[in-house]
Structure 1
Amino acid sequence: MKSLSKSLASQITVAIALLTLLALASLAAFTWFAARRADEEALRTQKMLVQREISSIMAAVPREQESFSVWDDGVIHTNKRDVQWVEENFGGWMYRFFKHDRTYIVAPDGELLLSARGEDVVKPPSFGADFRAAERVMTKLRERLQAREAPWQVPGGDIFVVDIDEIEQRPAILSARPIRPHTDAVVVPKGKESIFLAVKFLDGPVVKEIASTTLVKELRYEPARDYVPQPGSIGVGSQQGDVIGYYVWTADRPGLGLIRQIAPWASLVLAFAAGIAFYQARKLRRASAELQESEGRARHLAFHDWLTGLPNRARLESRLDDILADLLPGQAEAAVLLLDLDRFKNVNDTLGHRAGDQVIQQTARRLKDIVGNTGLVARLGGDEFAIVIASRNAVEAASELSDRVLAAFIPPFQLEGDTAHIGVSIGIATAPEAALHREEILRKADIALYEAKKQGRGRYELFSRTMDDTVKQRRQVEADLRKALATGKELELVYQPLYSAEGRITGAEALLRWNHPVHQCVSPLFLVTIAEESGLIAQIGDWVLHEACRMAKRVPVAWIAVNVSPVQLRDADFARRCLDIIRHHRIAPQRIQIEVTEAVVIENPELAGTILGALRSAGVRVALDDFGTGYSSMSYLRNYPLDRLKIDRFFVRALLEGEEGRAIIAAMIEMARALKLKVTAEGVETQEQRDLLVKLGCDEMQGYLFSRPIRAPHFIAKFSSAGGAISPNS
């Protein structure tokens, strides 16, 4: 019995030992596999971060050049070989602003006008050791310039060449851009472009910048000739695949570190099997925690914005789904606030994208300070942000939060020596009142944001069902407008004659009408608004000009006026397109008058001046419509090529209301005379208004007293029956 017991005990001991060994072997195998996976994932993440940072720096160099390379003055002075001007405007600037190590300006014939190293200008200018790499990049750029199909466009996009090469055994980004004009006033033929070449070395300070951004340890650069690639490295080379060196770092090895910690204890496990089982379990939990932490870092990168550190759209949508799923009827509500920065584009256009990034980062900090732990702040992209909150009274909480956000944007943004005033518009949608599904509540918050912008920006709007109905109606109207434009059956022009003080016709204004099959005559203001928002305004504007030219050929009126939207004048090609249409109909440009409002010249004065100047030089008349309702500045009246001012009907109605109204119009007429401009009074409806305007010296009048807008057939017949001299009320 004793022998049997001993044998059984031995068998159990052996079985336990085998099971323990099997468990230890299984645990060891699992630990090795988990450690290897952790090492591979950590290394893959580090390589991805380093590669992305290299790509970001490489993309930044040509973007930083752009503000200096698209410049009329740059084209003029480089073509003149004005070395002093080039040194003053390029030498040292790119280093001070963007830390470009070397800057070269090459004339169209290949002469080197500028060679700058850091802040110092090299005289005489020379490429030195940079010549081979510089020549290779510039040769590629010249090939692209020869391939451009239209001014400053090539197949595939923008015109620049950027690559990585080795200079003096150092890796360097070389970016070449043509110095090209930013307006139509300067023309550069093919092959006559000056070249702006920038060089930025990828060792030294850039290595520290990459290491700081990616948090890799002991990052350094090694030339390819001296280094055998290791796991903790990534190749640096040209776009043709030529590797010139490697970024090398000490790779994170969380798995290997784990094994090194376990190894001493594993030897003790062989002697103390019972105790080691508990220890292994505890270490396994620690390994799992480390693995989860590594995965958490990777998950953070996938669900957060790289520029601000805020949650991105994917994280916002996930969190919003959770909040909406947890809402209990009558107990909790939620709100989504969509935010869009006002005047942000002006910062990018005037101060550059670097300043724009600073605005985005400061905006993120202000929003986080306001929201704190009460909600989620996310960046959706560009200058769009979102806030999600849960509350028992979502409308009240969202309104109070919006007031605080608006107040936080009152102080200006400080941007490395510049100051920018940025506003914000906010659209709010609440759950469950507006919607209970993520896509729907985001859509309705976006509708409310659109309404806030339409109401003047710098405010917030709460979604209402009326807004949704309006959006659906506008979409339907937009579809109807596209159909009307395609068929040409519902749109028409009516014509309102203008008369001289003596009662003779001087011209006519073409007014657009839409005879909608359901809504009948659609408001012209609503029609233009829909056309601008849907991108149809240019097509409609061309149609109107075509129709006006056809009418000018049929009646012997001196000129026909067409109104131009501010959106049309944002197109630098507008003047050329107008003149092409006029030439197509073979009428004199003097028989067409373009009418613009004060908002057009104030919104983009430089572009507006160029376009109006081109039209006026060709002979097209230019009138300033609704004068007096905007800024009414003498400076732009003197600086812009105008033929006449049209006094708004508001001031004409004020004529009979007292001396103040008459004094205002008298001042307008005197100012126009001083500038040698003709004056047209709009909205003349009574004989008394006409008599006062004649007495004040007004040149032309337009209004119901003389004629209402007339449909084309009646206008032709009435004009023809009058033999070219239509009198009022004839």
Structure 2
Amino acid sequence: MSRRLQRSPLTFQVTLTVMALAIFALAMVVGFGFYATVQADSVSLERQKILFANGMRDRMAAVDREQESIAVWDDSVINAKAGNVDWMIDNISVWMYSYYGHDRVYVLDAADRPVHAMREGNVLAPARYSEDEPVLLPTVERVRRLIREPAKEDLAGGPVKLAAGDLVELDGKPAILSIMPLVPSSDRVIQTPGSEYLHISVDFITDALLAKIAGQYLLAGARLLPLSQPVGGAAIPLVDSHGVILAYAGWDQERPGSALVREAGPALIGGALLAAGVLAFLLRRLRRASSALQTSQAEAQYLAFHDTLTGLPNRALFEDRLRRALLTASHETAKVALLYLDLDRFKHVNDTLGHPAGDELVRQTAARLQQAIREVDTVARLGGDEFAMILIDVDDIRGAEDVSEGLLQKLQEPFKLADDQVFVSASIGIALSTGPDADADDLLRKADIALYEAKKNGRGRYQVFAGDMDDLLLRKRQVESELRHALNGGTGIKLAYQPILRRTAARSSVPRR
């Protein structure tokens, strides 16, 4: 029974509720932790993108400043227009490559014809400019327009800088392009507007350049990602002035949230295991308390509907089952038979052998009654030595009589009480439901009347309820009521004389006192 109680619905529901709450709490903690981790990593990634984009803009601005160091110079104007190749090599092209790292330098005359060319530190024939001209020409034309139509001031309110830059793709690689005119740095050199030579500087975006930019912001693993390669979250597009993506700059994403989880992982796992242990302990205690409560409830419910001496259903459960049986029988053709049984001379056993023997007799009687009926039927103890049996699916009164005969034969066998053998008999009253309107209280009353008739007619027998029994009982109760009323009133009874008559042929009877 205890094992069944441990698996009872209440214990199962309590366990399930606690486990559900624990899982929900764990899910909430893990969910919020995961959300916080993702949010921290996401915010950090956005910051990294902003930093890297700023680094790219700073590099483009640096190329412009580096180019300006030789583009605004009297000597540059003089020597470029003079065609001094050696000077241009030492100060305009190869020097830009060796000192600043600019990969390609071109010098164009006022008609945009190349007069000098350098690639990766090697001076080339100026005609090699034609290989890059289709890509560089749009920016060259922008610079020429700025020279022809200079604005008085830029958006910031400062003087307009005659320069143009962009991101371009040369030889399949992205590069920073900066173009500006060669202008004097003093009034000693006079240059006619429109006659300016142009200085073109190209700085390829390589892994080394990206690593240098990333190093400023403590980012690692910076690299150039071509368009054909899948791009992760830690990357920014390299876009030209027309909105065309040339490539991607990527790096190893810093994940502060994930790093914190990794560092705190052992402590979190230890805490989770400790919490799980505490939960298991509390759950075990809760299960024990729940099982004890369920056991107490089951025992209380059992005692509320069962007889403590025999374990049989008591009057409350008996009446409930009788009403249910009658309700079921009202929809079917079968009837319900009620047997009311009472042990004969039970008081004599109590008086001679003691109440413990009487209790044992009641227990043994209950066991024999249970053995004599079907499992679908019900036997109950109504109190003292009184028992009642509900027989369902009875076709007629004969079925109830057969059961009653079997019960009487079973009870005629000797009972062993302590060291004595006791022979007892029983009287049974039988009542059969009469139709769909049968009432439980009425059926019980009829069985009680039939039991009274069985005892009155000799005990150790059964009696089926008949209609005239009800009338006789009513008349008897009416007489008892009237007699009690007469006794209480004091004037309702009077002495009467009954004459005794002797029947003879000669004379009539004379009253005798």
- Larger CA Rg, structure 1 vs 2: 2
- Larger RCO of the pair (alpha carbons < 8 Å, separation 6+): 2
Into which bin does the TM-score normalised by the smaller protein fall?
A: 0.3 to 0.5
With normalisation by structure 1, the TM-score equals: 0.34
